[in-house]
Amino acid sequence: MTTYSPEELLACTIARLVADARHVAVGAASPIPATGVFLSRAMGNHGLRISLLHQRAGNPFTEGSRELFDLAGQGRIDLFFLGGAQIDGDANINLVKAEGKRFPGSFGSAFMYFAARRTILFREEHSRRVLVPKVDFISAPGWSPPGVERRGGPQALLTGKALFSWQPDSRRFRLESVHPGHALDEVVDSTGFDFDRAPGLGTTPAPGARELALLRGSVAKQIAANYPEFAARLWPARGAQDSGVAVE
C-alpha cells in the first residue's frame, strides 16, 4: 500500500489546474504551488516557463518584480497564485490586517490579480478564521464591475480540505471536491461564506503512482534547490514518507 502526504495531494491538484498554461509565476514562500507547477511540467507540459519569485535559482528576471509586473501587464503571465489572511465568498483577499493584527501588506497582489490571465487562490488552513463572510480589508478584489479593465481573475480556491472553482457569472465559489480524510459537513462548518456545490461533487483524486514517482524524484530535486527545508521535511533523502493517506 502506497501512502502520500497532504502536501503531495495539494501539489497534484495544482498540477491538474495548471493545465495548458505557458508561463506560471509563483510568489515567495510558496513551496506547495511551486511543487505543483514543476509536477505539471514533468507530467508533459514541457514548454512551461516557471518563475519562482525571490528564489535565486528559479528567478529568471534581471529586474526583479518590476520585470514580472511588466510581463503581466503585457498579458504574458498565464497563471499566478495568491493567498491571504482572509478570503471571502466574493474571492476578495486581505493581506493587510485582521483580528487586530497587521501583515506585511498587499505588495503587487492587486495588480497581479487584474493582469495575470488567471489566479489560483491557495491557503492550506481551511477555517472560518480564514474563509470569512467579508474580508476586513480588500487587498485585491475578486471581481470588478462592468467598465473596469481587467484581464484576469480567480480560477479556483484550493485549501487543505477542498477544491472550489470560481463561477464568474454568478460570482460565487462552487465546491468541486472534498479531499480524502475530510467530509462535506466538515467543509461546510469550516467555511464562513455560502457556496454552490458541483452536481458531481466527489472526492479529490489521490496522487497516482506516476505522479508520486515524479514528485519524489525529479521534482523533489528541483524543489530542494529553492525550498531546501520544505524538501527535506517532505522527502528526506528524496525517499517516500511512510505516513499520510493510503492510495487505494
Q: Are residues 23 and 132 in the same domain?
A: no
CATH code of the domain covering residue 179: 3.40.1080.10
Would the pLDDT of 112 be above 80? yes
Q: Are residues 97 and 181 in the same domain?
A: yes
pLDDT averaged over every residue in the chain: 90
Q: Are residues 98 and 167 in the same domain?
A: yes
CA distances from 171 to 71, 94, 148, 168, 204 (A): 27, 18, 16, 5, 23
Q: Are residues 195 and 214 in the same domain?
A: no
How many structural domains are present in the chain? Answer: 2
CA distances from 62 to 51, 67, 152, 169 (A): 12, 7, 25, 39
Q: Tell me if 137 is assigned to some domain.
A: yes
Q: Tell me if 246 is assigned to some domain.
A: no
Q: Are residues 210 and 187 in the same domain?
A: no
Bridge partners (DSSP) of residue 235 are none
Enclosing domain of residue 15: 1-77+206-236
Q: Are residues 158 and 228 in the same domain?
A: no
Q: Are residues 24 and 48 in the same domain?
A: yes
The predicted pLDDT at position 148 comes to 92
Q: What is the pLDDT of residues 87-107, one digit of tens each?
A: 999 999 999 988 888 887 787
Q: What average pLDDT does range 12-30 have in this prediction? A: 91
Say if residue 15 is exposed, middle or buried (CB neighbours under 10 Å; 0-12, 13-18, 19+): buried
Query: Which of 56-60, 102-106, 225-229, 240-244 shows the lowest mean pLDDT across its residues?
Result: 240-244
The predicted pLDDT at position 20 comes to 87
Query: CB atoms < 10 A from the CB of 182, how many?
Result: 17
Q: Are residues 161 and 189 in the same domain?
A: yes
Query: Angle at the Cα of 87 (from 182 to 121), degrees rounded to 5?
Result: 75
Q: Tell me if 200 is assigned to some domain.
A: yes
Q: Are residues 186 and 221 in the same domain?
A: no
173 near 201, Cβ under 8 Å? no
Q: Are residues 21 and 41 in the same domain?
A: yes
Q: Are residues 89 and 200 in the same domain?
A: yes
Does this model's pTM top 0.95? My answer is: no
CA 17 vs. chain centroid, Å, equals: 9
Distance CA 23, CA 96 (A): 28
Q: Tell me if 245 is assigned to some domain.
A: no
Q: Are residues 65 and 164 in the same domain?
A: no
CA distances from 222 to 37, 117, 119, 238 (A): 11, 26, 23, 11
